[in-house]
Amino acid sequence: MNQPNKVDLSKPAACCCASPTGQTAYGAKKTPARLFRFIAMGSVGVLFWWLAYRNLALFSQWLTYTVLPFKRDTHLGASVEFFVYEAPKVLLLLALVVFGVGIVRTFFTPERTRRILSGKRESAGNVLAALLGIVTPFCSCSAVPLFIGFVTTGVPLGVTFSFLISAPMVNEVALVLLFGMFGWKVAGLYLGTGLLIATIAGWVIGRLHMEKHVEDWVFETKPGNGTEDDSLDWSARVRLGWDAVKEIVGQVWLYVLLGIAVGAGIHGFVPENFMASIMGKGAWWSVPLAVLLGVPMYSNAAGIIPVVQALLGKGAALGTVLAFMMSVIALSLPEAIILRKVLKPRLIATFFGIVALSIMLVGYLFNFLM
């Protein structure tokens, strides 16, 4: 792991699949004893989680001022207390949400999502696709097979795009981090506008009737039957949820700590406002600039959070920063290269253009509202 903030353009096929789809040897036989053990272990786990979460404030004060030699009412003491409170809090929240989402995702394999969306009319289909984008396991390296699998089985092009936009952009890790660091308002706005962008951008692409700008061979592809859906029992789902926690938390914990460390630095020491002049509300051009910078960059949702934390802390406007964040995680140069296999340049340009434009509008909306 080198510089954690580095934006990586060198790996177009960078794989982020953390998708425990239920197509493996998990279709275990149900035995009541095992189920009971899982429920018992689960309850104990939840109890511990809750106790830990409830007592974090006390713990962080005790650790900072009693165990460690920091003084109360000093900048350094406040910073350290902030860090030892926030870091476990966000990691606990993250583990819980990733676990929950991991379990929900065992119900929504890409195959099932496709079945739900197949033959759906536009508009309602766009909304549904954006929502399913959150709960269906997805990774950018599967974007091409997923795209082909959708459009060749009767999912309208615009609906497919709603899914392809929402799946990476509305991300549970980003949601938890935003909630943990900035509160439910920011997290809710991110969720709501993310869904809105995915729905509207997909709908517009559908209205433009750009089917002829999909590479011809795509529609000639005859998709096979794929895997048979195993029905999983609950212990298998719990295990898959736990696998997701190990995998995702294992990947992102460093970014999370870094983001909180940046926040702690800002928390203890008075924030400077040097970003305010260039990324504050007053600078109207900062939103398009942020999107323009963010679009080609590739980073996962967790990697961008420290940057968001730093920018906000230094006085950048919320809308500008959210626009930057969304454009980084929703669009990227590697993604354009991958999608070029199935889309002609004009459709890629339209796709990027519409999504970038929607993100800009959201940026302005936030700067105006908040």
Residue 363's closest CA among 267, 272, 295? 295
Residue 132's closest CA among 167, 172, 88, 90? 167
CB under 8 A: which stretch of 20-28, 94-102, 171-179, 285-293 binds other proteins?
20-28
Q: How far is the CB of 295 from other proteins (least distance, A)?
A: 22
Site for other proteins in 310-349 (CB under 8 A): 341
Site for other proteins in 143-172 (CB under 8 A): 144-146, 148-150, 152
DSSP H/E element including 296 = none
Is residue 227 a contact point for other proteins (CB under 8 A)? yes
- CB nearer to other proteins: give 123 or 152: 152
Is residue 225 a contact point for other proteins (CB under 8 A)? yes
Residue 172's closest CA among 114, 102, 257, 253? 102
Site for other proteins in 106-125 (CB under 8 A): 110-111, 114
- CB nearer to other proteins: give 20 or 206: 20
Give the angle subtended at the CA of 98 by the CAs of 27 and 49, to the nearest 5°: 105
Length of the chain: 370
Extract the tokens encoding 340: 């070029």
Q: How far is the CB of 343 from other proteins (least distance, A)?
A: 13
Is residue 20 a contact point for other proteins (CB under 8 A)? yes
Extract the tokens encoding 39: 């429920």
End-to-end CA distance of the chain: 37
Cα atoms in the Cβ-side hemisphere of radius 13 Å centred on 170: 27
* Size of residue set near other proteins by CB under 8 A: 34
Rounded distance, CA 308 to CA 305, Å? Answer: 5
CB under 8 A: which stretch of 13-21, 168-176, 291-299, 306-314 binds other proteins?
13-21
Is residue 1 a contact point for other proteins (CB under 8 A)? no
Cβ atoms of 326 and 194 within 8 Å: the answer is: yes
CB under 8 A: which stretch of 120-128, 142-150, 308-316, 343-351 binds other proteins?
142-150
- CB nearer to other proteins: give 183 or 226: 226
DSSP 198-242: HHHHHHHHHHTT-GGGB-HHHHH------PPPPPPPHHHHHHHHH
Q: How far is the CB of 144 from other proteins (least distance, A)?
A: 6
Q: How far is the CB of 18 from other proteins (least distance, A)?
A: 8
- CB nearer to other proteins: give 101 or 178: 101
- In one letter, which amino acid is 146? L
Pick from 64, 126, 142, 327: which binds other proteins (CB under 8 A)? 142
